[in-house]
Amino acid sequence: MRPLVLEAGAEPVSSWPHYYDSLTLFSPARYSALPGLPFPGDPEHYPHRDEVVDYLRSYAAPLDTDIRTGHRVAKVAHDNGFRVTTDDGTDFAAPIVIAATGGFGRPHRPALPGLDDFPGTVLHAAQYRSPEPFHDQRVILVGAGNSAVQIAAELADHAQVTLATRKQVKFSAQRPFGRPALLARPHRPGPPPDRPVAARRLHHPGPGHRPLPIRTRPAPSGPPTDVHRAGRL
């Protein structure tokens, strides 16, 4: 069986060229490679976005796989097998379908109360590229996932940055005990459970790796109910 890959983009590198400019992986190269092709360079380094793009191109080139770019899937139907229809109306039949689309192509921005009247600029992380447009501004990042924290750390050299979260954020070293965090995750106790953190003021450590002075404040219980009407979200 020869696999058929339908790729909406112009080349088989997924959404990687469209991520923010400074993105680096959170796992070393040795743990980020695909089967059969080691990631080039030092196996302990953390690959940059553009390195991942080049790696995916190199990986796809020799594959014995029918890769068809510019084919966006619009519909999948099941009737004695699968029928996949692309947005130009082309049909493909297959006994097995694997959906590996990811969520970057259609980022979700929740409809928060007050958002329509917010006078500042609202961006999804998928729209962020670099920190320069935010120089000397107040920026609030909603959430504390990998992308939010990495963007916040970069912005902290240029802007006044706050991470807004529903619960306490637990930061840990990227290489505790000299090993990648995905292999060793020591527990770091946070504030008491009755003091959830609503926001953390983040300052980039910069040269010398100074400790991060982080300001916290108690969070109200329940879901967020409003968007602050000043500054930039």
Give the pLDDT band (50/70/90) at residue 232. Answer: very low
Indicate the residue type of 202: L
Give the pLDDT band (50/70/90) at residue 186. Answer: very low
Q: Please tell me the predicted confidence (pLDDT) of residue 215.
A: 37
The verdict on 35 and 78 lying in the same domain is yes
* Terminal C-alpha separation, the chain: 49
Residue 228 resides in a domain? no
The verdict on 143 and 214 lying in the same domain is yes
Distance in angstroms (rounded) separating the CA atoms of residues 72 and 67 = 12
Q: Any idea what the CATH number is for the domain that residue 201 is in? A: 3.50.50
If you write DSSP's letter for every residue of 97-153 in order, what string do you get?
------STTS------TTGGG--S----GGG---SGGGTT-EEEEE--SHHHHHHHH
In contact, 213 and 206? CB cutoff 8 Å: no
The verdict on 14 and 89 lying in the same domain is yes
Q: DSSP secondary-structure letter at 220?
A: -
Residue 206 pLDDT > 70: no
Question: Is this model's pTM higher than 0.75 or not?
Answer: no
In contact, 166 and 196? CB cutoff 8 Å: yes
If you write DSSP's letter for every residue of 12-65 in order, what string do you get?
SSTTGGGS-TT-B-SS-GGGTPBTTBPPSS-TTS--BHHHHHHHHHHHHTT-SS
If you write DSSP's letter for every residue of 134-203 in order, what string do you get?
GTT-EEEEE--SHHHHHHHHHHTTTSEEEEE-SS------SSGGGS-TTT-------S-TTS-EEEEEE-
Residue 106 resides in a domain? no
Q: Any idea what the CATH number is for the domain that residue 11 is in? A: 3.50.50.60
Residue 209 pLDDT > 90: no
Give the pLDDT confidence of 120-160 residue by residue, as tens digits: 999 999 999 999 999 999 999 988 888 898 999 999 999 99
Mean pLDDT of 171-190: 61
Per-residue burial over 146-171, b = 16 or more CB atoms within 10 Å of its CB, e = otherwise: ebbbbbbbbbbebbbbbbbbbebbee
Domain that holds residue 119: 115-218
Tell the residue number behind the tokens 């954020």, with chain if given.
169
Q: Please tell me the predicted confidence (pLDDT) of residue 229.
A: 36
Q: Please tell me the predicted confidence (pLDDT) of residue 100.
A: 87
Residue 30 resides in a domain? yes
Q: Please tell me the predicted confidence (pLDDT) of residue 183.
A: 61
The verdict on 89 and 13 lying in the same domain is yes
Residue 77 pLDDT > 50: yes
Indicate the residue type of 147: S
Q: Average model confidence (pLDDT) for the chain?
A: 79
Distance in angstroms (rounded) separating the CA atoms of residues 161 and 144 = 12
Residue 181 pLDDT > 80: no
Domain total of the chain = 2
What are the structure tokens assigned to 166, written together? 């529903």
Mean pLDDT of 15-30: 91
